[in-house]
Amino acid sequence: MIRHLFTLIWNRKRSNALLIAEILLSFFVLFAVSVLLVTSYYNYRQPAGFEYQNVWELNVNPGQDTTDHRPTLRLMMQRLQATPGVVAVTGTSSNTPFAFSSMNTNQYYYQKKQGPSTDRYEADDEMVKVLRQHVVAGRWFDRRDDAATNPPVIINQRFAEKLFGNESPVGKVMTNDKGTEKWQVVGVVDYYRRASDFDGNAPAIFVRRVAQDVDKLDPNENPVLLVRVQPGSGAVLEQRLVKEISAVTKGWTAKVNTLEENRHDKMKIVLTPLVALGLVSLFLILNVALGLFGVLWYNINQRKAEIGLRRALGATGSGIGSQFLGEMLVVTTLGVLAGVLLTAQFPLLGAFGVETPIYVISIGLSAVLIYVLTAVCAFQPSRIAAGIQPAVSLREE
């Protein structure tokens, strides 16, 4: 049976070659879409590496105050920490969880090996109490680091894998490209995916900032604070925090957002292109389906005489339908095999910059979708072919 199908396909090799090319192109389209969708789903299922519930973000604006902000910032954080309902307060840089700003660098080296492009964050000793990151090796920053010879840093596991491989990173000293600056790793967290729920697990490094040591802070920075509050805290505590800031700073203003609100706003921005891509993909798949359906319909009209002769020789309607469906599946297999051979090169070339399992899943998903698509498109034309009567087809010829 298979040999007979290959013979029929070879006899119509020109039209089938065009069909294989269309299936191959469709496979590539589905593969690209699958990579994006599988990557998004894979990232969504990964741990964030921190807890954003019951955390508020305070963006403080000094306004026209041109004096040194550092002493005021230290006093403000002390007053906020003492406010009933507040669990912990941390000062950080502007690239807070779900913020639209980012900071990155690739200046870290270990034994002449350059580190990856890395997201950089400023963190003080209290951040782990606010965001509750998961330290899996070493420790978080504390007062022991005040006397450190080299500035302490904390990295995530992704960074450790890229720069240190299988070695334990705790205690290792990194340098810049010229060796003029050094940093010592004191701890490792598992994940830190702060951009959005669909953000990948990129390399991350936390650099210690000390609110108590005002000499090490930017005198003109606009403070960004993260405050963990008691569950159920609402507008009353928010107003109280704003009043505390106003009382301490004499004219500074503060804008309060919850990280849950920031996450929701970021999700809307991130989901918009994904939804648009999904609609475009559905449109492309619909056009592919219509094209395949049209080609199969045309093939049946061109082969009515062949169908009539086979029916006259005793072929059943189900046999004719199975033949056309089998031809389509064989042609689809040829197109899919060509697509698999070509897309299998993507992991080797590092295209799209995703993990190898995502490529494998995307290839498998694309193949399944192509088979389902072609089977659905071939079903109705095969039924039409099965219903052709020999007398009708031969009289038309």
| C-alpha dihedral (79, 120, 149, 107), degrees to nearest 10 | -160
Q: Does one domain contain both 77 and 204? A: yes
Residue 35 has pLDDT above 70, yes or no: yes
Domain that holds residue 138: 63-251
Q: Does one domain contain both 344 and 391? A: yes
Q: Mean pLDDT for the chain?
A: 82
Q: Does one domain contain both 164 and 232? A: yes
Q: Which of 216, 251, 286 is at the close of a domain? A: 251
Residue 215 pLDDT: 47
Q: Does one domain contain both 99 and 235? A: yes
Residue 207 pLDDT: 94
Asked if residue 57 is part of any domain, the answer here is no
Residue 365: name the closest of 22, 46, 19, 29 by CA: 29
Q: Which of 217, 251, 285 is at the close of a domain? A: 251
In total, how many domains does the chain have? 2
Asked if residue 256 is part of any domain, the answer here is no
Asked if residue 56 is part of any domain, the answer here is no
Q: Does one domain contain both 163 and 40? A: no
- Residue 312 or 358, more confident: 358
Q: Does one domain contain both 22 and 145? A: no
- Residue 40 or 303, more confident: 40
Residue 214 pLDDT: 44
Q: Which of 251, 280, 300 is at the close of a domain? A: 251
Q: Does one domain contain both 97 and 214? A: yes
Residue 357 pLDDT: 87
Residue 361 has pLDDT above 80, yes or no: yes
- Residue 347 or 141, more confident: 141
| pTM as predicted | 0.79
**Residue 155: pLDDT band by 50, 70, 90 thresholds?**
very high
Residue 6 has pLDDT above 60, yes or no: no
Residue 264 has pLDDT above 50, yes or no: yes
**Residue 383: pLDDT band by 50, 70, 90 thresholds?**
low
Residue 98 has pLDDT above 80, yes or no: yes
Residue 191 pLDDT: 94
Average pLDDT for 91-113:
88
Could you write out the DSSP letters of every residue in 354-393? --HHHHHHHHHHHHHHHHHHHHHHHHHHHHHHHT--HHHH
Q: Does one domain contain both 88 and 210? A: yes
Distance of CA 393 to the CA centre of its chain: 55
The residues near 60 (Cβ < 8 Å, ≥ 6 apart) are: 76, 222, 223, 224, 225, 245, 249, 252, 253, 254
Residue 294 pLDDT: 75
Residue 182 pLDDT: 93
Grouping H, G, I as helix, E, B as strand and the rest as coil, residue 50 is coil
Q: Can you say whether residue 192 is alpha, beta or left, with left for phi > 0 and alpha for psi between -120 and 50 degrees?
A: beta
Distance of CA 318 to the CA centre of its chain: 47
Strands (E), the chain: 55-61, 86-92, 104-105, 109-110, 113-114, 118-123, 135-138, 152-156, 173-175, 182-189, 204-208, 224-229, 253-258
Residue 84 has pLDDT above 50, yes or no: yes
Q: Does one domain contain both 72 and 213? A: yes
Residue 131 has pLDDT above 90, yes or no: yes
Q: Does one domain contain both 81 and 219? A: yes
Q: Does one domain contain both 83 and 219? A: yes
Percentage of the chain with pLDDT > 90? 31
Q: Does one domain contain both 170 and 300? A: no
**Residue 297: pLDDT band by 50, 70, 90 thresholds?**
confident
Q: Which pLDDT tens digit goes with each residue over 205-252?
A: 999 987 544 445 455 567 789 999 999 888 899 999 888 888 887 778
